[in-house]
Amino acid sequence: MSDLTSDELIELQKSSDAEYKRLSGLDGEEHRAQWERWRTAAERVQAAVTQHAATAGLNRFEVERATKTAARHPAESVG
C-alpha cells in the first residue's frame, strides 16, 4: 500500500469490484437491481477517495489510481 491510499479505501474498491463482477450473466430486473448495488458501491468509493484526497491534500486522481491498483493488483502496489 502506498501513502496515497488506505486499507479502508482498498476494501471499498474491492467491494465495488465484486459487485460489478456479479453483473455477469444477469438480465432484466436482476441486472438492474445488481447494477444499482454496484453503482452504490462505486459511489461510496468515489466519495471516500475524494474525501481522503481533500483531507490529506493529495491529488484525487493519484489517490484513485493508487487505490484501484492496490485493490486489483496488490503485488504492483507494494513498496
Interatomic CA distance for residues 4 and 27, integer angstroms: 37
Q: What is the DSSP letter of 27?
A: -
CA dihedral 48, 8, 42, 62 (to 10 degrees): 60
pLDDT tens, residue by residue, 13-51: 999 999 999 999 999 999 999 999 999 999 999 999 999
pLDDT at 36: 98
Q: Collapsing DSSP states into helix, strand and coil, what is residue 40?
A: helix
